[in-house]
Amino acid sequence: MDVYAKRGKNGGWYPQCLYRWNAGVCPKHTNPKSPCSKCLHRGWEAINPKILLRHLLGSSNPVGIYPLHPDGTCRFLVFDFDAHSEASDPAQTRKEAETLRMICTQLGINCLVERSRSGKGSHVWIFFKEPVKASTARQFGMLLLNKGSQLVPLRSYQCYDRMFPGSRARAGNGETHRTRQRISAVSSHCPSTVLR
**For 56, which DSSP code?**
H
pLDDT at 141: 93
Mean pLDDT of 96-116: 89
CA-only gyration radius of the chain, Å:
18
124 pLDDT tier (thresholds 50, 70, 90): very high
pLDDT in tens, 144-187: 888 766 766 666 677 778 888 876 544 343 333 333 332 222 33
Mean pLDDT of 116-122: 79
Whole-angstrom distance, CA of residue 18 vs CA of residue 9: 18
Of residues 52 and 130, more confidently modeled: 130
Q: At residue 182, what is the residue type?
A: R
Closest by CA position to 67, among listed 177, 181, 167: 177
Count Cβ neighbours within 10 Å for each residue of 167-188 and write b for 16 or more, e otherwise: eebebeeebbbbbbbbeebebe
128 pLDDT tier (thresholds 50, 70, 90): very high
**Of the spans 1-15, 21-35, 79-93, 146-160, which averages the highest pLDDT?**
21-35
pLDDT in tens, 134-151: 999 999 999 888 876 676
